Amino acid sequence: MRTPGLLVALAVLAAAFFALPLVGLVAEAPWSAVGGALLSPRVTRAALLSLGASTAAVALGLVLAFPLAWVLARTRFPGRRWVRGLVLLPMVLPPVVAGVGLLTAFGRRGLLGGALDAAGISVPFTTFAVVLAATFVSAPFLVVTLEAGLAGLDRGLEEAAATLGASDLRILATVILPGLGPALAAGIALAWTRALGEFGATITFAGNLRGRTQTLPLAVYELLQTDAGAAILVSVVLLAICLAAVALVRSGAFGEPR
């Protein structure tokens, strides 16, 4: 079927719908105040915390996601579909629900609260809580991309390496991980940006304290009430970071874009 003109017109409208809020941010930003706004202690502390917590969340996410993705991609067991659904749930769950869930699991009165308390550990309102909240919402992106990557690998190469006497560890390091490179990089970019943007689970589970749990999105929300210009400038920075991540994933730098 040919592409009707009406469809093209609607597609242009749709593209404008996604573009306008981004254009608005850039157009409304008070660029003359950019230095003062972005270098204020509140923003720099939030930025450092956000970058560190997102990176830690991806690292922790990889530890959780790799074994899960492997088992999902390469084994058959009853309830496998349910496990996959469970892992995907955080992607569609309202983040505030994720935050309440984390409290009911790791909070002082949560399921593990007594045990954690006995060990002298209190998770809510700490930077670790920020990392946990970000991991919960972002690791599913790693599971999805790694599972697809593992399923797409040529098992023949692994068998050939095994026939030639390579150990499992050597096969993992020289055959599997290099083959997973593009999927791994795309997953890391998606998970890292999702972690960076996390708000609802963070405010619920980790609270809002400058230098300890106040991430960039929380700083934007707070700034919006007193200094909208600064809030817009920080939003533009977050937008630029996310744009770079999407461009990286789509550029084919990690292999063919899906």
Partner 1 sequence: MTGAAAAATCLAVFACDPGERPRATDATVLAAASLAGPFEEIAEAYERSRPGARVALELAASSTLAAQVRAGARFDVLVTADERTMAAAWRAGLVERPSTLATNRLVVIAPSDDPGGVRGVEDLARPGVRVVLAQADVPAGAYARAALAALGIEAEVERNVVSNALDVRGVAAAISLGEADAGIVYLSDLTPALRGRVKVFPLPERVSVRAVYPIALASSPEHPAGARAFLDLARSDAGRRILAAHGFGLP
- Interface contacts to partner 1, rule CB under 8 A: 84-85, 88-89, 91-92, 103, 107-109, 124-125, 140, 144, 203, 206-210, 212-213, 221-222, 224-226, 228
Of 171 and 192, nearer to partner 1 (C-beta) is 192
Q: Looking only at Cα atoms, what is the longest distance across the chain?
A: 68
Of 101 and 171, nearer to partner 1 (C-beta) is 101
Of 150 and 175, nearer to partner 1 (C-beta) is 150
Of 148 and 161, nearer to partner 1 (C-beta) is 148
User: Per residue, what are the HEC states of the chain?
Assistant: CCCCHHHHHHHHHHHHHHHHHHHHHHHHCCHHHHHHHHCCHHHHHHHHHHHHHHHHHHHHHHHHHHHHHHHHHHCCCCCHHHHHHHHHHHHHCCHHHHHHHHHHHHCCCCCCHHHHHHCCCCCCCCHHHHHHHHHHHHHHHHHHHHHHHHHCCCHHHHHHHHHCCCCHHHHHHHHHHHHHHHHHHHHHHHHHHHHHHCCHHHHHHCCCCCCCCCCHHHHHHHHHHHCHHHHHHHHHHHHHHHHHHHHHHHCCCCCCCC
Least gap, CB of 129 to partner 1 (angstroms): 10
Of 108 and 155, nearer to partner 1 (C-beta) is 108
Least gap, CB of 76 to partner 1 (angstroms): 17
Of 38 and 148, nearer to partner 1 (C-beta) is 148
Least gap, CB of 190 to partner 1 (angstroms): 11
